[in-house]
Chains A and B, each alone.
Chain A
Amino acid sequence: MLPLTAHTGTAVPLARSDVDTDTIIPSDYCRRLTKTGFGPGLFAQWRQDPAFVLNQARHAGASVLVAERNFGTGSSREPAVWALRDWGFAAVVAEGFGDIFERNALRNGLLPVRLPTDAVTTLRSAVEADPALPVTVDLAESTVCAGEWTWSFRVDEHARWLLLNGLDEIDVTLAEETAIAAYERSRPHWLVPAAPVAP
């Protein structure tokens, strides 16, 4: 993966809390074998409404989504993240995220930016008023900048380090082979649940 340090783009306001993963992408659209091609399923139901914010020409091309509380609550489906990426989003700013969604987002370079309520409200109002307002999400500096405002945010340190350095997490873990093998030797022998199958 290429190192990720900062992203600048316009933003789209989504004034809704508790946006669940089934709304982000209904299960019908999850039935794919690839990691791409999920864009058409993004907010599939809501997009049927011509007034829905993603259908508005003034927000076309936006790459930062500004939501409310608890964005991405619900299922573990990674297509929720892949669909947002496919659509062109690089970051989601919200007051909080579903745990699994947040982790999935970080593992796909979709930055989940957690800000306090007043900051999210201010940013959402600002981009509603001026859809062309550039918003910068800087992972290296851990800041969001828009117009006159700058806010700090924190993401999981391990994920941040992987993203900033463009590291493959599996490679990083496999470098701990000695420790993993030692742990495996210490496990109880009866803790092997699956029946053996010849590959």
Chain B
Amino acid sequence: MADKIWDAHVVTTAGDASDLLYIDLHLVHEASSSQAFDGLRTAGRKVRAPGLTMAVEDHNVPTHTLRITDPISVEQLQTLRRNCAEHGIELFQHGDRSQGIVHVIAPELGVVHPGMTVVCGDSHTSTHGAFGALAFGIGTTDLEHVLATQTLALRRPATMAVEFTGVPPTGVTAKDMMLALLARIGANAAAGHVIEFRGPAVRGLSMEARMTMCNLSVEAGARAGMIAPDDTTFAYLDGAERAPSGADLVRAREHWAGFTTDDGAVFDRTARLDVSTLTPFVTWGTNPGQAVPLSEAVPDPESFGSGAARESAERALAYMDLRPGTPMREISIDMVFLGSCTNGRIEDLRAAADVLRGRTVAPGTDMLVVPGSMAVRAQAEAEGLDEVFTAAGGSWRYSGCSMCLGMNADRVKGTRRCASTSNRNYEGRQGPRARTHLVSPATAAATAVLGRLASPADLEELCSH
């Protein structure tokens, strides 16, 4: 499938093994674009295709208020607004009803389709691969190149098939499947590859769960992750605000049908994981591959042999202040973050609210709920989910990237320990000395209630005793 999309977008082929690839959709945000627009201005160039470019304010916006006072945020947002106005680029501003995290709003609007090429100055652009699109993150220099030419010169990436077999047990989500995969293959195992997720366990996932899966493919080091389009994909696009309709939809469906995976497709690498016996996963270390089932204990670095993996585990445990052998369930948690482009969609909020309904967040634990978009926020409020979160003691916020990367005021203070539905547990990611455990939304909610790492099943056990 990746090859088909590639072939359909080659503008020219250079003699040095790189192809000039046309970009169908360029998503822009305030935190990585200002230098690119400056470059255009200095060189006297224009944005080639404003109609294929969309901008949104998400990375550094506050989530507790719609009034922005932080001077650096104000400057970055004003710069983006000026740049978009100057070049005729559509911009979703903080507070707009369609504003939100870039990787949440683009699918919501229905602007990502099978067979497209999508780029954004953000590594989690891989999210859009859920639609059978080739979507990947780029830096600021490439961003300027796309603004000016709507193309990128790239070498064709290698391909990797990841097959999820079996049926995931109740309570096991796409997040758990991906943490289990990362624990198995390692945080860098797919470097240079485009992953195609396949198998019955993938076919059974909703579009939102597929987005979570593709979002995390970059944590395996992959260039992109994708899932072949099927009826689930087409049903999601049906009626989305900007998806093709009427006669265009008929043409689009024909076009999209060309981007499935051939039966005999050959991949450079393959990995397989049976999900039928999986249980909720959590991370214990400082990269997303350092994960174990919640039912297990903090691993002993000795178990990683004698190489770099062991040294990495030792350093991770020192940073995380964890001792080998401690059951994961005994790790107490100060902060719970529900949100991000990984797990900030309505199904994620519903899953967490289902656990929290009629319960309260443990004393000494704080919970932050940041919807992935203003549309998700509105939908959640229409369903009364906001009341579930606030009644439980959680803080209900406006939309943005928030505590996923700590670029706004939402940060984990000091060495506090956070259970987070986001994508990276790097040192200092959520705050200079913050300790992060990556979890699914349901695990996050159960953890909030008990003040220690826990799954919804643990709550039910406590009730029945």
Residue of B nearest to A195 (CB): B90
Picked from B12, B87, B151, B308, the residue with its CB within 8 Å of the CB of A68 is B308
The stretch among A55-63, A70-78, A127-135, A145-153 that forms the contact with chain B is: A70-78
Shortest beta-carbon distance, A164 to chain B, in Å? 12
Q: Which of the candidate stretches A5-13, A84-92, A136-144, A176-184 sits at the interface with the other chain? A: A176-184
Quick one: which of B45, B79, B191, B428 contacts A99, CB cutoff 8 A?
Answer: B191
- Please indicate the chain A residues that have their CB under 8 angstroms from the CB of B145 in the complex: 169-170, 173
Q: CA–CA, A28 to B429, complex, Å?
A: 10
Known: A31-B76, A76-B137, A199-B50. A157 touches B18 (CB 8 A): yes
Interface of chain B residues 132 through 190 with chain A (CB within 8 A): 137-142, 144-145, 148-151, 153, 155, 187-188
Dominant secondary structure of chain A at its interface with chain B: loop
Task: Identify which of B25, B138, B188, B433 gathers the most chain A CB atoms within 10 Å of its CB.
Answer: B188
Does B348 reach chain A (CB closer than 8 Å)?
no
List CB contacts (< 8 Å) of B294-348 with chain A: 308, 311-312, 315
Whether B379 is near chain A, meaning CB under 8 Å from some CB there, is no
| Known contacts A69-B308, A75-B123; A173 and B153 CB within 8 A of each other | yes
Given A33-B34, A74-B123, A157-B16, answer yes or no on A169-B153 (Cβ-Cβ < 8 Å): yes
- B221/A183 in contact, CB under 8 A: no
Q: B248 in the interface, Cβ–Cβ < 8 Å?
A: yes
* Interface contact B191-A156, CB-CB below 8 Å: no
Q: Are B139 and A180 in contact (CB under 8 A)?
A: no
* Given contact pairs A17-B312, A76-B32, A156-B18, A193 touches B406 in the complex (Cβ within 8 A): no
B242 at the interface (CB under 8 A from A): yes
Task: Decide if A192 touches B18 in the complex (CB within 8 Å).
Answer: no
Instruction: Specify the chain A residue showing the minimal Cβ separation from B35.
Output: A35
Contact A33 B79 (CB under 8 A): yes
A180 lies within 8 A of B188 (CB):
no
Is A108 interfacial (CB-CB < 8 Å)? Answer: yes
Q: Are A194 and B137 in contact (CB under 8 A)?
A: no
In the complex, how many angstroms separate the beta carbon of B147 from the nearest chain A beta carbon? 9
Q: Give CA–CA (A27, B140) in the complex, Å.
A: 15
Q: Number of contacting residues on A, CB 8 A?
A: 59
Does A30 have its Cβ within 8 Å of any Cβ on chain B?
Answer: yes
Residue from B91, B111, B222 in contact with A193 in the complex, judged by beta carbons closer than 8 Å:
B111
Question: How far does the alpha carbon of A82 sit from the alpha carbon of B462 in the complex, in Å?
Answer: 52
Instruction: Give the distance in Å from the alpha carbon of A108 to the alpha carbon of B144 in the complex.
Output: 13
Residues on A with C-beta less than 8 A from B52 are 192-194
Least distance between A111 CB and chain B CB atoms (Å): 15
Within 8 A of B (CB), among A18-59: 18, 20, 22-23, 26-28, 30-31, 33-35, 45
Q: Check if A81 is an interface residue, CB within 8 A of chain B.
A: yes
Contacts of B54 in A (CB 8 A): 193-194
Find chain B residues with CB under 8 A from A34 CB: 35, 38
Residues of A within 8 A of B312 (CB): 17-18
| Inter-chain contacts of A30 with B (CB < 8 A) | 31, 407
CB distance from B310 to the nearest CB of A (A): 11
> How far is A27 from B422 in the complex, measured between Cα atoms in Å?
15
Q: Contact string, A157-199, partner B, CB cutoff 8 A, digits 1/0? A: 1100100000001101110100110011001101111111111
Whether B151 contacts A173 by the Cβ 8 Å rule is yes
Main secondary structure of the interface of B (DSSP, over half): mixed
CB distance from A75 to the nearest CB of B (A): 5
Nearest A-chain residue to B155, judged by Cβ: A156
Q: Which residues of A contact B34 (CB under 8 A)?
A: 33
Contacts of A96 in B (CB 8 A): 188, 191
- Please, which residues of chain B bring their CB within 8 A of the CB of A183? 11, 22
CB distance from B250 to the nearest CB of A (A): 10
Q: Which one of B35, B155, B407 lies within 8 Å of A28 (CB-CB)?
A: B407
Would you call A197 and B123 a contact (CB within 8 A)? no
Q: B459 at the A/B interface (Cβ < 8 Å)?
A: no
B141 with A78: CB separation less than 8 A: yes
CA distance A29 to B123 in the complex (A): 18
**Complex contacts, B109 vs chain A, CB 8 Å:** 193
Q: How far apart sit A35 and B36, CA to CA, in the bound complex (Å)?
A: 9
State A73–B85 Cα separation when bound (angstroms): 34
Which residue of the partner chain A has the closest CB to B89?
A197
Shortest A157–chain B CB gap in Å is 4
Kindly state whether residue A103 has any CB partner on chain B within 8 Å: yes
* Distance in angstroms between the alpha carbons of A34 and B411 in the assembled complex: 25
Given contacts A31-B31, A98-B221, contact A18 B287 (CB under 8 A): yes
CB distance from B59 to the nearest CB of A (A): 8
Bound-complex Cα distance A17 to B315 (A):
11
Question: Does B103 sit within 8 A of A, measured CB to CB?
Answer: no
Specify which of A22, A26, A170 is in contact with B43 (CB 8 Å cutoff).
A170
Q: Could you tell me if B188 and A69 are in contact, using CB atoms closer than 8 angstroms?
A: yes
Which 6 residue pairs spanning A and B have beta carbons closest together? A199-B88, A193-B111, A104-B139, A157-B16, A78-B139, A76-B137
Q: Enumerate 29 A-B pairs (CB-CB under 8 Å) in ascending A order.
A: A22-B405, A31-B76, A35-B140, A73-B188, A75-B122, A75-B123, A75-B405, A76-B137, A76-B139, A78-B35, A99-B192, A99-B221, A103-B142, A104-B140, A108-B141, A157-B17, A169-B145, A170-B43, A170-B148, A173-B151, A173-B153, A179-B11, A180-B150, A180-B151, A184-B49, A192-B52, A193-B54, A194-B111, A196-B90
Instruction: List 12 additional contacts besides A20-B426, A26-B406; criterion CB under 8 Å.
Output: A22-B429, A27-B407, A28-B432, A31-B72, A76-B137, A100-B138, A103-B139, A176-B11, A187-B22, A188-B252, A190-B248, A194-B111
